[in-house]
Amino acid sequence: MTFSPYTDSVHFFGSTNPQALAQAFGTPVYVYNEKILRKNCRTLRALSSLPGFGVNYSVKANANPRLLRILHDEGLVVDAMSPGELHLDLLAGFATEEILYISNNNSVTEMANALAHGLLISVDSLSQLEQCGRLNPGGRVMVRFNPGIGAGHSEKVITAGKATKFGIIPEKLDDVLAILKKYHMTLAGINQHIGSLFMQPDGYLSAVSVLLDLADRLPADIRKQLTVIDFGGGFGIPYHKHAGEAPLDMAALGHALHEKLSQWATQHKYQGRFLVEPGRYVMAEACVLVGQVTAIKDNGEKHFTGTDLGFNVLMRPVLYDSYHEIELYPADDRPRPMLTQTVTGNICESGDILAKERDLPTMYEGDLIAVLDAGAYGYSMASTYNQRQRPCEVLIMEDGSARLIRRRESLDDLTRTVEGLF
Ligand code: LLP
């Protein structure tokens, strides 16, 4: 009897296994698979064969520089939206021309820092465009528009449409042009991002057309200055794997995208870059989070399975009610009939729930579990709440062996920033 159909089917753990990993590195541990990571990069790069087409990985999904290096090796470029992300991009080996600063509500200091690194900055309000003009008159800038079409798995991650803070509405194009003129700036790029996680290509493709139409509306001399048009990310992955949820049809999406881009490039003799900006698609499926069952409780109404996977480790279920499949690696050969159970973490809040009323095989203390699709917005959103140290990260290399790529935090790490104690 196997309770790990997905990780078994893709040989996720290479030549090792969850028990050996737990023994060597402890739990919780984020486990990445290099082969899957590289495969995801190649699928994305294959969306279009246009020479100017590229994949701009959105670092917010996962910023481990060891993983970023693999993406660099696969020919991806990266974004940065903060001085911290920029720091890690550079550390991973990306050159400044391989980094786009896709920011929101920068302070003057942050914007000046990005400019000092020579980066092309995407601004997403008239006020930030003015700020950029004041800091860098005569320079290049990129403007993020709000195409009005949003998408996403939760209201919290839809980033287009008037209910959201992002981008400049196309109706304000004349104001954009006036500010560019005032500061003698070159509009080197335009971009958008409609939101995070779509499983049907239509909305994304419509938004691509909206941005290209907007580029059509630019005065010809300004359009000719464009060197990059970035359509944003949002490419979804099937989180309901055990139920057989279909993946996003990348072949169909690629075909339609390639057609649109080729046509537009030919029509305008455009020689610049076209980018997509995925985060989740690159990372999510390349990682599982391994934890341990620590306690079992039946309170007469509910069956609780307690684990060491608190929401400080993986926040998505609590923050967005997100669904992640759970697989089981039993510690012994007791029978494991299916049981409706609520899987919880070890944080002092009742909301610390990883899976609600889920039908899973019976679990016992000492069992290991893997939470699937944990590579995007997993570690990057982890915290030390309840003063629990953040977990370690391990990479299953292409040869199947495991390598530590981030150590577990220590108790000393908890006081590293405290002043005046010692
Ligand atoms: N570009 C921009 C400007 C973004 O804001 C984002 C994500 C992306 C690209 C990448 O989107 P993706 O391809 O990963 O969907 N924490 C949430 C997701 C937040 C997404 C924020 N922006 C989650 O765990 O689902």
Q: For 383-409, what is the mean pLDDT?
A: 98
Q: What is the tally of structural domains in the chain?
A: 2
Same structural domain, 149 and 241: yes
- Residue 43 CA to residue 27 CA, distance in Å, equals 31
Please give the distance, rounded to the nearest whole angstrom, from the Cα atom of residue 19 to the centre of ligand 1. Answer: 33
Same structural domain, 114 and 227: yes
Is 83 part of a structural domain of the chain? no
Is 50 part of a structural domain of the chain? no
pLDDT at 156: 87
Q: How far apart are the first and last CA of the chain?
A: 55
Please give the distance, rounded to the nearest whole angstrom, from the Cα atom of residue 188 to the centre of ligand 1. Answer: 23
Alpha-carbon separation of residue 265 from 218, 252, 375, 417 (angstroms):
15, 20, 35, 51
Of 41, 60, 106, 154, which is best to mutate to test ligand 1, by the most ligand atoms within 8 angstroms of its C-beta?
60
Q: For 195-203, what is the mean pLDDT?
A: 94
Is 23 part of a structural domain of the chain? yes
Q: pLDDT tens digits, residue range 41-55?
A: 999 999 999 999 999
To which residue do tokens 């990479």 refer?
A: 395
Same structural domain, 272 and 330: no
The CATH number of the domain holding residue 146 is: 3.20.20.10
Closest C-alpha to 224, from 183, 170, 187:
187
- Residue 133 CA to residue 20 CA, distance in Å, equals 56
Please give the distance, rounded to the nearest whole angstrom, from the Cα atom of residue 195 to the centre of ligand 1. Answer: 7
Among protein residues, the one whose CA lies closest to atom 7 of ligand 1: 196
Is 179 part of a structural domain of the chain? yes
Chosen domain end from 278, 300, 326:
278
CA of 191, closest atom in ligand 1: 3
Please give the distance, rounded to the nearest whole angstrom, from the Cα atom of residue 234 to the centre of ligand 1. Answer: 6
Pocket of ligand 1 (CB under 6 A): 58, 60-61, 102, 157, 159, 193, 196-197, 232-235, 277-281, 316, 320, 376-377
Same structural domain, 155 and 243: yes
CA of 280, closest atom in ligand 1: 14
Q: Say if residues 325 and 6 touch (Cβ distance below 8 Å).
A: yes
Active site (annotated) includes residue 287 = no
Same structural domain, 272 and 126: yes
Is 147 part of a structural domain of the chain? yes
Chosen domain end from 256, 278, 300:
278
Please give the distance, rounded to the nearest whole angstrom, from the Cα atom of residue 194 to the centre of ligand 1. Answer: 9
Is 290 part of a structural domain of the chain? yes
Among protein residues, the one whose CA lies closest to atom 9 of ligand 1: 233
Same structural domain, 308 and 384: yes
Q: pLDDT tens digits, residue range 53-77?
A: 999 999 999 999 999 999 999 999 9
Among protein residues, the one whose CA lies closest to atom 4 of ligand 1: 193
Q: Does position 1 have pLDDT exceeding 80, yes or no?
A: no
Kindly compute the dihedral angle of the four CA atoms of residues 254, 231, 50, 59, in this order, to the nearest 10 degrees: -90
Among protein residues, the one whose CA lies closest to atom 3 of ligand 1: 193
- Residue 408 CA to residue 384 CA, distance in Å, equals 12
% pLDDT > 70, the chain? 100
pTM over 0.95: yes
Closest C-alpha to 313, from 342, 346, 340, 335:
346
Chosen domain end from 209, 243, 278:
278
CA of 61, closest atom in ligand 1: 14
**Range(s) of the domain holding residue 143:** 103-278
CA of 236, closest atom in ligand 1: 15
pLDDT at 200: 96
Same structural domain, 177 and 257: yes
CA of 233, closest atom in ligand 1: 13
pLDDT at 68: 98
Same structural domain, 313 and 390: yes
pLDDT at 405: 98
Q: How confident is the model at residue 161 (pLDDT cuts 50, 70, 90)?
A: confident
Closest C-alpha to 359, from 239, 237, 238, 242:
242
Please give the distance, rounded to the nearest whole angstrom, from the Cα atom of residue 293 to the centre of ligand 1. Answer: 31
Same structural domain, 135 and 255: yes
Of 41, 154, 193, 211, which is best to mutate to test ligand 1, by the most ligand atoms within 8 angstroms of its C-beta?
193
Same structural domain, 231 and 266: yes
Among protein residues, the one whose CA lies closest to atom 16 of ligand 1: 377
Same structural domain, 268 and 350: no
Q: pLDDT tens digits, residue range 310-354?
A: 999 999 999 999 999 999 999 999 999 999 999 999 999 999 999
Same structural domain, 253 and 114: yes
Is 243 part of a structural domain of the chain? yes
Of 71, 280, 285, which is best to mutate to test ligand 1, by the most ligand atoms within 8 angstroms of its C-beta?
280
The CATH number of the domain holding residue 399 is: 2.40.37.10
Is 359 part of a structural domain of the chain? yes
CA of 234, closest atom in ligand 1: 15
Q: Mean pLDDT across the chain, nearest whole number?
A: 97
